[in-house]
Amino acid sequence: MQQYLSKLSRYHRWATEKLFESVDLLSEDQYREDAGLYFGSIHNTLNHLLLVDQLWLARIQGVPYPVTDLGHEIETDLKALETALLNQCDLWFRECATLTDRRLEQVIKYRNMSGDPARIKNGDLLIHVFNHGTHHRGQISSALAKAGVPVPAMDYFYFVTG
């Protein structure tokens, strides 16, 4: 399982890099306009991805995370956001490299964004994080296509065969 999650963490970074190759082609207006995504704009959706990745990493490491709004803007600048997201991907890779089977089965307890007690196994948490990234990259891909920007091939298939 550890090897699988390490591979998913590498895919998470690779797909994020591919996504930014296209996001970087947008005008500032296209990047910030409401694209009909769950968090409105591409900018807001990328900020959400960063926030959630940071939140889950804090939870798996047992440290507090101060943000309680899933739509909170962490980075205002596209380049800073890109750098932060790619750095966060690297943190996930390092975290996955240290996992043992015992730690993957370990259940963490935390409070969700509503303040309710919750629990999840570390392994399931990691699968969720990487699936969550795929979900929102897919949303952003749709917005890129509507904006007339080439959409990169980010399927896992291309990662493992490229």
Summarize the annotated binding site for a divalent metal cation as residue ranges.
Answer: 48, 132, 136
Q: Is 118 helix (H, G, I), strand (E, B) or coil?
A: strand
- Torsions phi, psi for 46 (to 5 deg): -65, -40
E-assigned strands of 57-106? none
Cα(58)–Cα(61) distance, rounded to whole angstroms?
5
Q: Which of 23, 21, 111, 99 is nearest to 66 (CA)?
A: 111
Per the annotation, where are the binding residues? 48, 132, 136
